[in-house]
């Protein structure tokens, strides 16, 4: 550890299932973790921020099969492909230090060793599993844990399952885990402790089934062919294998384990606060210092889900409003421990109120006034007044409160503090009226001090927003033209005395005001599902010779009458004028595409020299031409219709 370092700090996000592209709910936890990691780095900690992907399990195996690729190809595409996990974290400015994939060789080999160790110490044993399995959650449940017969996590149907399997002696650790939860700060917020103890531990912790034989996409149990390790064991140990536990790839375990905090969503608190500590106890390993279970983001009051078609796309929002605005919104608006309701209206209102009006305006007014009254250069000198002391005291208070709240992961309250300072600085402009001070030579020294105080408030606020909006903070620092030292946590002391000097420049507005109505309409348009892929029939590889082709007699025909054929839901019966003076009857299997009445009077194209054939006991003399393709897997058909000016019987060639 270097002399200046405050110590090591290890923080993790859950590793994501690459079963579909990530949505704003996934980004929420990662943005929070990134903000915390940046905050700790700013304070001088040596931070290790881990994220990654959880790539095994039946769900992935099934999805790969559906997509006609191997499971490895399937996960590679979602993790590494265009707009995949790595692309999203790059876009969202996620400053992770390490990215683990559970399919990485070093991790797989380490999991095999870990499993064997728990088998050897007697905490994993072989038995028979009968119970209920929730496939989407990859969770086994006992009958008593089900809620109205459904999975207690996701509410979906569960299926009966029985197989020879290995079990982990979770029951053995029930008392120790309960003690850990009830008598320490291991799990926060506190409300989650009651949930875990009352719903899972008190009803009796049963041993946990930790191997599967019904599929193969997992870490093989190397001493018993056919078994793969339960995906949650594989996943949870990522937090340690990524530091070098049971492998030589990394060597950071001594420095960074135990983790300072695991941030996790509320539905996976059970795994992190019961199963995870119990397994670590089994191996006699130090426990993480804290698990923090954050809430869920809903969209317009409903759970976000792909099947509901209401997942919020972070790419779309970042491209439209900027990454910093999105990062800020997530942490400013929703208290981290509770559920939140994401709406586009709220996002835009927050951008307009906090970022355009309060922050953006303060920066642009201040730099514009510096430019106008001092050509951007605030030299030594000035004249202080009592009001300035209040601003200085507030800045110190804001810093202290911010730090307290950040250390409790209360991002929205920490940001409230920053906005107390920004609001006060905006009010200070109204109170000191720089435009009046600028009117007289006599009040210019006072104006100089007022502008220096404003620059100082902005500088301090920019330090505090750095973890949340790193790009915006940098833009502000650049406009203030301050040194690296003045951007650092150590420079949080308010120094606007007479010797202070500033050289500021006017930049483009940080957050232009949004026209909410216009933006909502644009978002709606952009969120419309892309048109389903069109598929056309493969082209024939066989050539037809010209003379044969010319033998086909195509004619324009006019529909005199058209009706459904009784007892057939496919056939339409056409009575056609083919120009010969005698009516022609053609039957066509297109009833699912057209109502008969809409075709009467139309001019169609028929091939008329096919031998007559009988359909449902009626004669059909020829065939009507149509265009076919499929859209999103659905068959589409359009009759070929030609200009009504073309007379019946005209030959088409
Ligand atoms: O659970 N709002 O992966 P995952 C807030 N692989 N958070 C949400 C959310 C929403 N609408 N939707 C999902 C897994 N999340 C496991 C983790 S760790 C050893 C293994 C959060 O991709 C969810 O709560 O299903 C979880 O914390 C994270 O996204 C990853 O979910």
pLDDT tens digits for 189-212?
Answer: 999 999 999 999 999 999 999 998
**Domains in the chain, CATH or no CATH each:** 7-103 (3.40.50.620), 343-503 (1.10.730.10), 546-652 (2.40.50.140)
Instruction: Report how far ligand 1's centroid is from the alpha carbon of 15 (Å).
Output: 8
Q: Are strands 302-303 and 572-577 parallel, antiparallel or unpaired?
A: unpaired
Instruction: Report how far ligand 1's centroid is from the alpha carbon of 439 (Å).
Output: 59
Residue nearest to atom 10 of ligand 1 (CA): 25
State if residue 267 touches ligand 1 by the CB under 6 angstroms criterion: yes
Distances (CA, A) of 503 to 364, 489, 496: 14, 21, 14
What number is the average pLDDT over the span 354-371? 98
Instruction: Report how far ligand 1's centroid is from the alpha carbon of 271 (Å).
Output: 12
**What are the phi and psi torsion angles at 521 (to 5°)?**
-65, -40
State if residue 104 touches ligand 1 by the CB under 6 angstroms criterion: no
Among 201-215, 221-235, 362-376, the least confident range? 201-215
R_g over Cα of the chain: 34
User: Nearest Cα to 99, choosing from 172, 23, 33, 6?
Assistant: 33
Q: Which long-range contacts (CB under 8 A, 24 or more apart) does 144-153 make?
A: 144/203, 145/203, 153/267
Residue nearest to atom 30 of ligand 1 (CA): 16
Q: Is the pTM of this model over 0.85?
A: no
Instruction: Report how far ligand 1's centroid is from the alpha carbon of 569 (Å).
Output: 48
State if residue 16 touches ligand 1 by the CB under 6 angstroms criterion: yes
Per-residue pLDDT of 303-317, as tens digits, reads: 887 667 777 889 989
The whole-angstrom separation of Cα 36 and Cα 32 is 6
Instruction: Report how far ligand 1's centroid is from the alpha carbon of 4 (Å).
Output: 36
Instruction: Report how far ligand 1's centroid is from the alpha carbon of 342 (Å).
Output: 16
What number is the average pLDDT over the span 313-325? 92
pLDDT category at 533 given cuts 50, 70, 90 is: low
Per-residue pLDDT of 112-138, as tens digits, reads: 999 999 999 999 999 988 888 888 877
Handedness of CA 318, 324, 328, 330 (dihedral sign): positive
The whole-angstrom separation of Cα 51 and Cα 190 is 25
> Quick check: 623 and 588 in contact, CB under 8 A?
yes
Residue of higher predicted confidence among 493 and 200: 200
User: Nearest Cα to 177, choosing from 164, 196, 191, 161?
Assistant: 196
Looking at residue 530, its pLDDT comes to 61
State if residue 228 touches ligand 1 by the CB under 6 angstroms criterion: no
State if residue 29 touches ligand 1 by the CB under 6 angstroms criterion: yes
State which of 11, 12, 13, 14 you would mutate to test the pocket of ligand 1, scoring each by most atoms of that ligand within 8 A of its C-beta. 14
Q: Which residue has the tokens 């926060």?
A: 188
Looking at residue 155, its pLDDT comes to 85
Please determine, for residue 5, whether its predicted confidence score (pLDDT) is greater than 80: no
Atom of ligand 1 nearest to the CA of 23: 12
Buried b (16+ CB within 10 A) or exposed e, 575-585: ebbbbeeeebe
The whole-angstrom separation of Cα 194 and Cα 186 is 13
Q: Which residue has the tokens 């996943």?
A: 235
> Quick check: 47 and 37 in contact, CB under 8 A?
yes
């Amino acid at each position: 550890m270097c002399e200046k370092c405050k110590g090591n700090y290890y923080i993790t996000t859950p590793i994501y299932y690459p079963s579909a592209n990530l949505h704003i709910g996934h980004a929420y936890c990662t943005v929070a973790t990134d903000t915390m990691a940046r905050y700790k780095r700013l304070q001088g900690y040596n931070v290790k921020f881990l994220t990654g992907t959880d790539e095994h399990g039946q769900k992935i195996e099934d999805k790969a099969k559906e997509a006609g690729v191997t499971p490895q190809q399937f996960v590679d595409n979602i993790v590494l492909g265009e707009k995949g996990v790595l692309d999203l974290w790059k876009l969202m400015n996620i400053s992770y230090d390490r990215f683990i994939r559970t399919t990485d060789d070093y991790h797989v080999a380490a999991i095999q060793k870990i499993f064997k160790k728990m088998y050897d110490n007697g905490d994993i044993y072989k038995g028979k599993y009968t119970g209920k399995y929730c496939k989407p959650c990859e969770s086994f449940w006992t009958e008593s844990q089900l809620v109205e017969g459904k999975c207690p996590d996701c509410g979906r149907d569960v299926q009966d399952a029985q197989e020879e399997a290995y079990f982990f002696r979770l029951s053995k650790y029930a008392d120790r885990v309960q003690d850990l939860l009830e008598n320490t700060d291991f799990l926060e917020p506190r409300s989650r402790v009651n949930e875990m103890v009352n719903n899972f531990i008190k009803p009796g912790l049963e041993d946990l089934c930790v191997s599967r034989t019904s599929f193969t996409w997992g870490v093989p149990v190397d001493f018993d062919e056919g078994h793969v390790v339960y995906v949650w064991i594989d996943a949870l140990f990522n937090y340690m294998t990524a530091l070098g536990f049971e492998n030589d790839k990394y060597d950071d375990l001594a420095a960074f384990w135990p983790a300072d905090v695991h941030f996790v969503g509320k539905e996976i608190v059970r795994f992190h606060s019961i199963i995870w500590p119990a397994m670590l106890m089994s191996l006699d390993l130090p426990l993480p210092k804290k698990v923090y279970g954050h809430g869920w983001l809903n969209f317009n009051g409903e759970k976000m889900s792909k099947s509901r078609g209401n997942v919020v796309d972070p790419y779309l929002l970042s491209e439209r409003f900027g990454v910093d605005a999105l990062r800020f919104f997530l942490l400013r608006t929703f208290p981290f421990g509770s559920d939140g309701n994401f709406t586009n209206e709220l996002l835009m209102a927050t951008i307009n109120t906090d970022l355009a009006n309060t922050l953006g305006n303060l920066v642009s007014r201040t730099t514009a006034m510096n430019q106008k009254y001092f050509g951007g250069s605030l030299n030594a000198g000035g004249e202080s007044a009592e009001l300035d002391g209040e601003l200085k005291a507030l800045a110190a208070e804001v810093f202290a409160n911010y730090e307290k709240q950040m250390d409790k992961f209360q991002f929205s309250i920490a940001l409230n503090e920053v906005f107390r300072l920004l609001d006060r600085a905006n009010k200070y402009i109204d109170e000191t009226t720089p435009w009046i001070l600028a009117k007289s030579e006599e009040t210019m020294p006072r104006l100089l001090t007022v502008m220096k105080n404003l620059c100082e408030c902005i500088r301090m606020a920019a330090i505090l927003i750095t973890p949340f909006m790193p790009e915006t903070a940098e833009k502000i620092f650049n406009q203030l033209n301050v040194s690296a030292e003045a951007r650092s946590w150590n420079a949080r002391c308010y120094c606007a005395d007479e010797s202070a000097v500033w050289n500021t420049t006017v930049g483009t507005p940080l957050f232009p005001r949004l026209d909410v109505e216009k933006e909502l309409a644009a978002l709606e348009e952009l969120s419309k599902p892309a048109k389903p892929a069109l598929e056309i029939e493969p082209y024939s590889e066989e050539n037809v010779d010209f003379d044969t082709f010319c033998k086909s007699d195509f004619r324009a025909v006019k529909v005199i009458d058209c009706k459904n054929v009784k007892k057939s839901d496919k056939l339409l019966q056409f009575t056609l004028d083919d120009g010969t003076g005698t009516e022609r009857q053609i039957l066509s299997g297109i009833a699912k595409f057209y109502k008969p009445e809409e075709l009467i009077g139309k001019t169609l194209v028929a091939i008329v020299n096919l031998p007559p054939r009988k359909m449902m006991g009626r004669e059909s003399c020829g065939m009507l031409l149509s265009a076919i393709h499929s859209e999103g897997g659905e068959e589409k058909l359009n009759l070929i219709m030609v200009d009504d000016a073309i007379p019946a019987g005209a030959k088409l060639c």
